[in-house]
């Protein structure tokens, strides 16, 4: 591996380490993850029991339900007759989802995705009864009415839909209707207010509060925690997300909201309003203290209401996977929703590479290849073929530098430690030989957008989830072949075989290139140190990504072998010899650079001596 290639790899390594450091969880977050994973701890079990009891009491048995009926009527008016009571559950189900509702609030309490399982093979409960709430706060003339404290009547029920109604006793009512859509993972939702204009305070929007504690679904905590956050979209803008690495204060959204998603690594629960929620929505998340869960999510949204006699808001829920194609095909009554953009494919040029190059090729292959491992292999071949011209150019530059190496060594031996003179002479040698020393580094840097794009692509690729290949039982998680039972700093608590193979192949490649290029000294050892560091960095990454890197190394071996067979060193010698015969045309930049170097050299040589004979 020559100097320019090592410089390129070093720059890539530094940026990757910087990205890993920036996205890595803090010590506090790691402590929280460890606490969440310790589901057998007695303190956690006790905390879980207390939390569940508090949630049930808060939701179903508020303190105010102990007041006598006359006081309730004074506070809630005609709604008082529906306050409290024993709730009834109703479930709507199809092939995609099963949604359980309670009459206490006429709200969804649990969502199960029927086509998927958790990493531990149990049912995938996206939202559960004990940690999910959904209610409206209605400011009346006497109090704030919370809809989850009232037992709603079921006014209609079919296998596909259910309607709940809360009457005020004077002909007015609020009605919530839920209908399973013909589209997968979509639940249509309508809220209707009729004859309640005198119940509400003036100019007061309907406040919708939605809270949920996200359950751990995947094998590892690192990426699920990192990719679990709240995403949202303001109409006309690209979706945004709250920070997923540090708890946020309540974030007040200045504009109207089109949708809000409680998003995990591979699944999301989203509420969509095509007409938009009113301004002033609040979003926040907190670290959960309960074992087996990731984060606490909360959204406060507002439905615009101007005390009309009758008003209906048509919305939808999406409960399903973070599949780019699935989210792109969702149609909740309008097409311009950009739900698929909640999947973080990278920012800037990296996102562009994933959306317009990697993802289309991947989607094309998905319909034709059954095995995800084989698909990644073919994807690697296609990407390496696209990059082949850059690899070839880099090799030619390396070969030319290898030919010039004896002369470069002579210059170094002749001028010793006079680095300025060495640089001037080397520059003159490169000019005469027609060689650009940067031409080996630039192709390496031009490959970086694809390298970083794939680094972001594989950890969020839903299609890899729970897909097996060789010894890997899940290409979206690390392929552990040995668990230590303890944590090694900088490495982890297990051995990922694909990561190990990737590291070994990189070390072999480095050794072969060092022999060919003749690189020595510190640059030689840097080439060996970087793969060892990557062994620890990538040990927890999805095995689909490390399988890609391993295959990429194998393809690189083949490319290098083929290029060496095709490239004739004698012809390169002839090209360099012919270039030396031609007059050297110096650019203004080269001329000025040489003048600066020579001036600096003269300045050093004419520097006055200090007492004692030293300069």
Domain ranges within the chain, ordered by starting residue: 3-24+355-576, 38-343
CA angle 381, 386, 390 (to 5 degrees): 115
At residue 275, does pLDDT exceed 80?
yes
List residues bridging with 175 in a β-sheet.
165, 192
Strand ranges of the sheet holding 257-263, from the earlier edge strand across to the other edge: 153-157, 161-167, 173-180, 186-194, 310-321, 267-277, 257-263, 229-233, 240-241
Percentage of the chain modeled with pLDDT above 90: 41
Identify the residue whose tokens are 């067979």. 565
- In contact, 266 and 462? CB cutoff 8 Å: yes
Chain CA centroid to CA 247, Å: 17
Among 474, 472, 492, smallest CA distance to 484 is for 492
Q: At what angle do helices 497-517 and 543-566 cross, to 10 degrees?
A: 20
Residue range 1-44, pLDDT digits in tens: 445 555 555 555 555 555 445 545 555 544 544 444 443 344 33
* Distance from C-alpha of 206 to C-alpha of 196, rounded to nearest angstrom: 12
The CATH class given to the 38-343 domain equals: mainly beta
Residue range 372-428, pLDDT digits in tens: 999 999 999 998 898 888 888 777 777 777 777 777 777 777 777 777 777 777 777
Residue range 162-200, pLDDT digits in tens: 999 999 888 899 999 999 998 999 999 999 999 888 877
At residue 94, does pLDDT exceed 90?
yes
* Distance from C-alpha of 1 to C-alpha of 517, rounded to nearest angstrom: 6
* Distance from C-alpha of 428 to C-alpha of 409, rounded to nearest angstrom: 14
Helix (H, G, I), strand (E, B) or coil at 191: strand
Whole-angstrom CA distances from 269 to 90, 213, 260 are 20, 11, 9
* Distance from C-alpha of 2 to C-alpha of 408, rounded to nearest angstrom: 13
SS (H, E, C) 201-215: CCCCCEEEEEEEEEE
Identify the residue whose tokens are 């006497």. 142
Six token digits for residue 93: 């189900």
Whole-angstrom CA distances from 451 to 19, 23, 296 are 13, 17, 34
Residue range 487-517, pLDDT digits in tens: 888 888 899 999 999 999 988 888 777 765 5
pTM as predicted: 0.78
pLDDT, greater one: 108 or 347: 108
Six token digits for residue 333: 């009554």
Helix (H, G, I), strand (E, B) or coil at 517: helix
- In contact, 227 and 460? CB cutoff 8 Å: yes
Indicate the pLDDT class of residue 584, thresholds 50, 70 and 90.
low
């Amino acid at each position: 591996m020559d100097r320019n290639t090592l410089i390129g790899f070093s720059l890539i390594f530094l940026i990757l380490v910087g990205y890993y450091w920036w996205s890595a969880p803090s010590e506090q977050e790691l402590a929280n993850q460890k606490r969440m994973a310790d589901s057998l701890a007695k303190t956690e079990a006790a905390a879980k029991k207390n939390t569940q009891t508090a949630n049930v009491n808060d939701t179903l048995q508020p303190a105010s339900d102990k007041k006598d009926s006359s006081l309730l009527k004074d506070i809630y008016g005609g709604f008082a007759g529906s306050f409290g009571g024993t709730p009834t559950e109703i479930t709507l189900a199809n092939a995609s989802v099963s949604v359980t509702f309670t009459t206490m609030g006429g709200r969804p309490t649990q969502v199960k995705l029927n086509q998927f399982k958790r990493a531990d093979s149990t049912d995938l409960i996206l939202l559960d009864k004990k940690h999910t709430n959904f209610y409206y706060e209605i400011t009346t003339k006497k109090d704030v009415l919370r809809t989850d404290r009232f037992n709603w009547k079921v006014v209609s029920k079919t296998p596909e839909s259910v309607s709940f109604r809360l009457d005020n006793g004077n002909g007015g009512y609020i009605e919530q209707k839920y209908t399973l859509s013909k589209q997968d993972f979509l639940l249509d939702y309508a809220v209707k207010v009729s004859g309640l204009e005198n119940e509400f305070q003036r100019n007061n929007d309907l406040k919708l509060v939605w809270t949920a504690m996200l359950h751990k679904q995947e094998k590892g905590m690192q990426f699920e925690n990192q990719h679990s956050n709240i995403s949202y979209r303001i109409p006309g803008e690209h979706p945004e997300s709250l920070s997923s690495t540090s708890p946020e204060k309540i974030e007040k959204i200045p504009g109207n909201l089109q949708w809000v998603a409680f998003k995990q690594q591979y699944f999301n629960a989203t509420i969509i309003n095509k007409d938009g929620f009113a301004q002033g929505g609040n979003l926040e998340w907190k670290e959960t203290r309960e074992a087996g869960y990731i984060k606490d999510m909360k959204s406060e949204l507002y439905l615009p209401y101007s005390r009309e006699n009758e008003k209906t808001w048509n919305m939808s829920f999406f409960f399903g996977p973070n599949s780019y194609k699935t989210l792109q095909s969702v149609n909740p009554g309008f097409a311009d929703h950009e739900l698929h953009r909640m999947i973080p494919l990278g920012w800037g040029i990296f996102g562009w590479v994933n959306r317009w190059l990697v993802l289309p090729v991947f989607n094309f292959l998905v319909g034709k290849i059954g095995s995800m491992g084989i698909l990644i292999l073919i994807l690697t071949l296609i990407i390496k073929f696209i990059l082949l011209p850059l690899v070839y150019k880099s090799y030619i530059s390396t070969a030319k530098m290898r030919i010039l190496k004896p002369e470069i060594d002579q210059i170094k031996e002749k001028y010793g430690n006079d680095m300025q003179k060495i640089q001037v002479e080397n520059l003159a040698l490169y000019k005469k030989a027609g060689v650009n020393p940067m031409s080996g580094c630039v192709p390496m840097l031009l490959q970086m957008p694809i390298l970083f794009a794939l680094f972001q692509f594989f950890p969020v690729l839903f299609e890899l989830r729970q897909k097996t290949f060789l010894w890997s039982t899940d290409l979206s998680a690390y392929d552990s072949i040995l668990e230590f039972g303890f944590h090694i700093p900088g490495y982890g608590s297990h051995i990922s075989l694909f990561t190990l193979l990737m590291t070994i192949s990189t070390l072999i490649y480095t050794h072969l290139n060092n022999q060919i290029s003749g690189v020595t000294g510190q640059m030689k050892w840097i080439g060996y140190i970087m793969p060892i560091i990557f062994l620890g960095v990538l040990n927890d990454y999805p095995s689909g990504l490390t399988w890609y890197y391993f295959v990429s190394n194998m393809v690189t071996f083949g490319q290098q072998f083929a290029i060496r067979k095709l490239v004739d060193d004698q012809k390169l010698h002839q090209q360099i010899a012919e270039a030396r015969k031609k007059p050297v045309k110096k650019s203004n930049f080269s001329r000025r650079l040489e003048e600066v170097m020579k001036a600096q050299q003269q300045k050093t040589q004419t520097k006055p001596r200090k007492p004692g004979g030293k300069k």
